Chain A
Amino acid sequence: MKLTVWTYEGPPHVGAMRIATAMKGLHYVLHAPQGDTYADLLFTMIERRDARPPVTYTTFQARDLGSDTAQLFKTAALEAYKRFKPEAMIVGASCTAELIQDDPAGLARALKLPIPVIALDLPSYQKKENWGASETFYQLVRTFAPKVEGAPERTPGSRPRCNILGPTALGFRHRDDVVEVKRLLARLGVDVNVTAPLEATPSDLARLTDADFNVVLYPEIADVAARWLERTHGQKMIRTVPIGQNATKDFINEIAALTGIDPTPLLNDADARLPWWSRSVDSNYLTGKRVFIFGDATHAIAAARVASEELGFEVVGLGTYAREFARDVRAAAEKLGLTALISDDYLEVEQAIAELQPELVLGTQMERHIAKRLGIGCAVISAPAHVQDYPARFSPQMGFEGANVLFDTWVHPLVMGLEEHLLAMFREDFEFNDAAGPSHLAAHQPASPPAAAPAPSDIIWSKEAEAELTKIPFFVRGKARRNAERFATEQGLAIIQIETLYDAKSHYAR
């Protein structure tokens, strides 16, 4: 048993949901108790999806246990098939259903549905969300792109073709990364065959083999599947993840080496602004800023490289919650002379940040909260992320535009150069000091907030009314105060009592 305050990853069936929700024409029938439908809101609220995830839950309850949970599963699967008419179905169990051992695989087989049904075995008490996503994607790829003995060799086309593997629903900026990477590939002269799982159908997966190589954007999701495609179909794999200016160049060079395309025009891309932004003199103050980095392995490793090579920060801590990729993160940390923090214990991460006292935290939504509490600037670089990390604007992490985005996003939380000097020169300034935060941020809190505008001179607040006012949420308190005073003036009242406060509320509700 493990004491957990917040978790970085959900259970593995949520990973499977991320695949199913990313795809088209695939339906997931999940044997699960009442309440597990909470996972829908991850997609409809956090990611603002405008359709329900393609998931049917059996919703068993205590009274069903031991009697007919298996029948519930069969009914749910059959109804889901009839209602949603998917091209293919995945079936599995959530943590509780795993314990009652109803065997969704066997039950689904017994239904003899006229579509492919893939049974998922996702051990909830050992594995987590990313593993679940990876396993689900791997099983789907195996099922739909099998090795066919005696099938004719594929003839390469005149232009190189690749698949883009890894983007899912609820991924951190996956939608925008795909757009940016496709743009890079197009300018390089590489055709994209299939992008999966995002927006792919099961029949698209069957076409995966019609490509020369695979671009793996998120190894957490697609590494296993891509390795299988490499072994089974001889498709090479591009391993560089193009996050940051230098990694993007490496990515382009790696593809160029594989395909024989000349990368030079693309490497001198005029839209790559990060190098000049970083070299321009105003960025001098970024030198040696102490930064703590934590996230999934891909984003954490990439961020460490960008921070140290491209922004001139000093990386003081690097870690991941993804134990499956611990080795890669350890190697990246060693290069920077650090010992990686491999942990999914939020409290441990918090302690590490508190001890290292960085000036900037690059992390997940959890680290944002830690940083907020410790008064440190923070930018989110990795899932898990909250609704505000799914921006309306185009903001990829990958490619040259992604590097531009990283520069802006990471520099924004910092106190700017000259302001920093002023803070150091006049430490006792009552409004602008270390505790107040960068003055260009909304969260900036002058130490002595200006006093509320005084009430009209002839109006007095009773002690009780003042106390009642404090029970009103802070974001409407100012309005409530003004309304009460205006109301009292209009009504010719000299003293604001509790009742005046509520009379005013009722009056202005009209």
Chain B
Amino acid sequence: MIPAAPNAGCDSAAAPVLRERGQREVFCGLTGIVWLHRKIQDAFFLVVGSRTCAHLIQSAAGVMVFAEPRFATAIMEEKDLAGLADANEELDNVVDRLLERRPDIKLLFLVGSCPSEVIKLDLSRAAQRLSTKHQPKVRVLNYSGSGIETTFTQGEDACLAALVPEAPSAGDDATPSLLVVGALPDVVEDQFSRLFAELGIGPVAFFPPRRSGEIPAVGPNTRMLIAQPFLGDTARALEARGAKRLPALFPFGAEGTTHWLKAAADAWDVPEMDFRRVVAPHRERAKRALARSKETLDGRSIFFFPDSQLEPPLARFLAEELGMRPIEIGTPYLNRDLLSEELKRLPEGAQLSEGQHVDKQLDRCRDARPDLVVCGLGLANPLEREGLTTKWSIELVFSPVHGFDQAGDLAALFARPFARRSVLRV
């Protein structure tokens, strides 16, 4: 283990990162389908994989097995492994059957998995073939959500990156426009839309769109705000289309959201006074909402197991605005580009770690006895039994947490485990 070096404070971008390999207690990228299929309402996600893939998604999405979902798995069987030509034919049949069942589908993602990657089933060619076959009714795209290539939220990154080429081109003479990148809850998009309108920033579009026919045009006059820290490939793909990224903190908490909006305001030359006038009431409101959780969280230590790549921005938010003390900030992958602003503001003494060797990390966690452990569902109950207080990390990607009006909710997610401990008398 690399010891935590004395931290240079404002320049923790240079702080040593603990990199580990070993067992990773994380989801693969297929899991992103659980929220993506709800975001793009006329899209369908067909995983080409094994029974394990199907079992994973349904276990991750277990609580919502209510309707026929807009995702499914084409489960490969022995005979599909024997000859690839057959596998392609089988896939075409599955897609035919699926589209017959769901005539409302306009966009179909073929999602690669570990087994499909290992047998080198070429899903991009399959997507082209099937697109030609089913055009103009259905567009077929592909990306990989396999565990050998993607961790959890990277599945959304891969999906959105695959969607980028579908965006119409905006020319050099197009009006400057703002693109907000990352799947956000509808209510959060609406809040941001109102703020941008008040600031006089626009036109504003969101990526991914709610419907597949509404993909915004992208070009050299597109400015983008990235809303999720795990969208490195998507950002690069959009940059390749000419879009310019506005570096900023991520919109978590009053400070993060202000900084994020300011990046757009500066790009639109919004006068400082106007920016303050518009943002101040929202910012104050966010701070008021944080006050109660702060009473609980102030001074408490926190340990992040790697999960969604949201860990560094959340640690920054919890440290700066709620007085928490991050001990270790684990992330499955440290995207230095997108996190450039965040890394500068991580508190001293916090160990950043990338990758995972879960047993060693558990040893460190037990030694550190943090007041709160942020971890996945496989670890939470066992750690609770050991007497540690935990927060399930998956809630952080399944709840509206971005922006001013969710800052209080986000803080409350971390405060609730303490509140629960204090009310229970069993």
Tell whether B68 is near chain A: CB-to-CB under 8 Å.
yes
B50: nearest residue on chain A (CB-CB)? A95
Q: A57-B23, A60-B148, A365-B65 are in contact. Are A96 and B74 (CB under 8 A)?
A: no
Kindly report which residue of chain B lies nearest to residue A507, judged by CB atoms.
Answer: B288
- Contact between B146 and A33 (Cβ–Cβ < 8 Å)? yes
> How many angstroms from the CA of A498 to the CA of B290 in the assembled complex?
20
Q: For B23, what are the chain A residues with a Cβ–Cβ distance below 8 Å?
A: 37, 56-59, 76
CB-CB under 8 A from A6, the residues of chain B are: 54, 58, 65
Interface of B is mostly: helix
Q: Which residues of the other chain, B, contact A448 by a CB distance below 8 angstroms?
A: none
Given contacts A6-B65, A11-B51, A44-B382, contact A503 B285 (CB under 8 A): yes
Q: Which of A124-132, A174-182, A184-192 contacts B (4 or more CB under 8 A)?
A: A124-132
Are A11 and B186 touching (Cβ within 8 A)? no
Report the interface size for chain B: residues with CB under 8 A from the other chain.
Answer: 79
Whether B66 contacts A7 by the Cβ 8 Å rule is no
Are A41 and B66 in contact (CB-based, < 8 A)?
no
The segment from A45-53, A158-166, A238-246, A334-342 found at the interface with B is: A45-53
CB–CB B81/A5 < 8 A:
no
| CA–CA, A128 and B51, complex, Å | 8
Bound Cα distance from A125 to B77, whole angstroms: 5
Cβ-neighbour of A59 out of B22, B29, B65, B81 (below 8 A): B22
Q: Which residues of the other chain, B, contact A95 by a CB distance below 8 angstroms?
A: 50-52, 114-115
A65 and B118 contacting across the interface, CB-CB below 8 Å: yes
With a cutoff of 8 Å between Cβ atoms, the chain A residues found around residue B75 in the complex are 1-4, 7
B66 touches A4 (CB 8 A): no
Query: Is A258 in contact with chain B by the CB < 8 A criterion?
Result: no
In the complex, chain B residues whose CB is within 8 Å of the CB of A442: none
* Residue B292 interfacial (CB < 8 Å): yes
CA distance A396 to B20 in the complex (A): 45
B149 within 8 A of A: yes
Which one of A366-374, A404-412, A416-424 contacts B? A366-374
A366 touches B118 (CB 8 A): no
Known: A11-B55, A124-B51. Is A1-B147 also a contact (CB below 8 A)? no
Chain A 17-56 near chain B by CB (<8 Å), digits 1 or 0: 0000000000000000111111111101110111110001
Asked if A264 is at the interface of the complex by the 8 Å CB criterion, the answer is no
Instruction: Enumerate chain B residues within 8 angstroms of A35, measured Cβ to Cβ.
Output: 26-31, 56, 114, 146-147, 151
Residues of B with C-beta under 8 A to A347: 68
**Interfacial chain B residues near A123, Cβ < 8 Å:** 78
Verify B77–A468 contact, CB threshold 8 A. Answer: no
A506 and B54 contacting across the interface, CB-CB below 8 Å:
no
Residues of chain A within 8 A (CB-CB) of B27 are: 35, 38
B98 at the interface (CB under 8 A from A): yes
Please classify how large the interface on chain A is, using the bins under 10, 10 to 19, 20 to 34, 35 or more.
35 or more
Is A502 interfacial (CB 8 A cutoff)?
yes
Q: Name the residue among B50, B52, B118, B186 with the largest chain A CB count within 10 angstroms.
A: B52
Partner of B359, one of A10, A60, A79, A503: A79
> Given the complex, which residues of B lie within 8 Å of A1, measured CB to CB?
48, 74-77, 80, 87, 90-91, 93-94
* B 33-76 binary contact with A (CB < 8 Å = 1; else 0): 00000000000000010111011101110110111110011111
- Partner of B24 from the list A59, A128, A365 (CB cut-off 8 Å) is A59
Give Cα A62–Cα B66 distance, bound, in whole angstroms: 35
- Residue A471 at the B interface, CB < 8 A? yes
A-contact 0/1 string along B276-305, CB 8 Å cutoff? 000001000110111111000000000000
A115, chain B: closest CB distance, angstroms: 19
Q: Are B72 and A7 in contact (CB under 8 A)?
A: no
Cα distance A36–B359 in the bound complex, in angstroms? 16
A386 at the interface (CB under 8 A from B): yes
Cross-interface CB contact of B66 among A36, A48, A56, A373, cutoff 8 Å: A373
B185 nearest CB across to chain A (Å):
8
CB neighbours of A5 from chain B (8 A): 68-69, 72
| Inter-chain contacts of A79 with B (CB < 8 A) | 22, 359
How far, in whole Å, are A49 and B190 apart by their CA atoms in the complex? 41
- B381 interfacial contact with A, CB 8 Å: yes
Chain A CB within 8 A of B378 CB = yes
The minimal Cβ–Cβ distance linking A167 to chain B, given in whole angstroms, is 21
The answer to whether A3 touches B74 (Cβ under 8 A) is yes
Kindly state the separation between the CA atoms of A79 and B28 in the bound complex, as whole angstroms. 24
Is B119 in contact with A99, judged by CB distance below 8 angstroms? yes
362-420 of chain A: CB within 8 A of chain B: 365-366, 369, 372-373, 386-387
Query: Does A232 lie at the interface of the complex (its beta carbon under 8 Å from any beta carbon of B)?
Result: no
Tell me if B217 counts as interface (CB < 8 A to partner A).
no
The interface residues of chain A lying within 8 Å CB-to-CB of B77 are 1-2, 125-126
* Bound: A65/B149 CA distance, A: 11
A427 within 8 A of B: no
Are the C-beta atoms of A38 and B59 separated by less than 8 Å?
Answer: yes
| B377 to chain A: closest residue by CB | A41
Q: A472 interface residue, CB < 8 Å from B?
A: yes
Closest CB of chain A to B406's CB: distance in Å?
10
Q: Is the CB of B66 within 8 A of A369?
A: yes
- The chain B residue sitting closest to A57, CB to CB, is B23
| Residue contact B62 to A83, C-beta cutoff 8 Å | no
B376 CB-CB contact with A under 8 Å: yes
**Chain A: CB-nearest residue to B28:** A35
Give, as a whole number of angstroms, the nearest-CB distance from B59 to chain A: 6
Known: A10-B51, A35-B114. A505 touches B378 (CB 8 A): no
Of the candidates B56, B66, B98, B412, the one having the most CB atoms from chain A within 10 angstroms of its own CB is B56
B405 within 8 A of A: yes
B18 CB-CB contact with A under 8 Å = no
Q: B31 contacts which chain A residues (CB < 8 A)? A: 35, 38
- CB neighbours (8 Å) of A235 from chain B are none
| A37 contacts B117, C-beta separation under 8 Å | no
Interface pair B148/A126, CB less than 8 Å apart: no
- Bits for B353-396, please: 1 = Cβ < 8 Å to A, else 0: 00000010000000000000000111111101100000000000
Nearest Cβ in chain B — how far from A348, in angstroms?
13
Residues of A contacting B151 with CB < 8 Å? 34-35
The interface residues of chain A lying within 8 Å CB-to-CB of B147 are 33-36, 61, 96
Q: Are B405 and A502 in contact (CB under 8 A)?
A: yes
Across the interface, name the chain A residue whose C-beta is closest to B76: A1
Q: Which of B65, B87, B93, B286 contacts A366 (CB 8 A)?
A: B65
Closest chain-B Cβ to A37's Cβ sits at a distance in Å of 5
Which B residues are CB-close (under 8 A) to A154?
none
> What residues of chain B lie closer than 8 Å to A365, measured between beta carbons?
65
Q: Other CB < 8 Å A-B pairs besides A44-B379, A125-B77, A499-B281, 13 of them?
A: A4-B54, A11-B55, A38-B378, A40-B25, A44-B382, A52-B378, A83-B359, A95-B114, A124-B52, A369-B66, A373-B66, A472-B187, A510-B292
Show 6 residue pairs from A and B whose CB-CB distance is below 8 angstroms, ordered by the A residue. Answer: A1-B75, A38-B60, A40-B377, A40-B378, A505-B289, A509-B412
Q: Which 3 A-B pairs have the closest CB atoms?
A: A35-B28, A35-B147, A40-B378
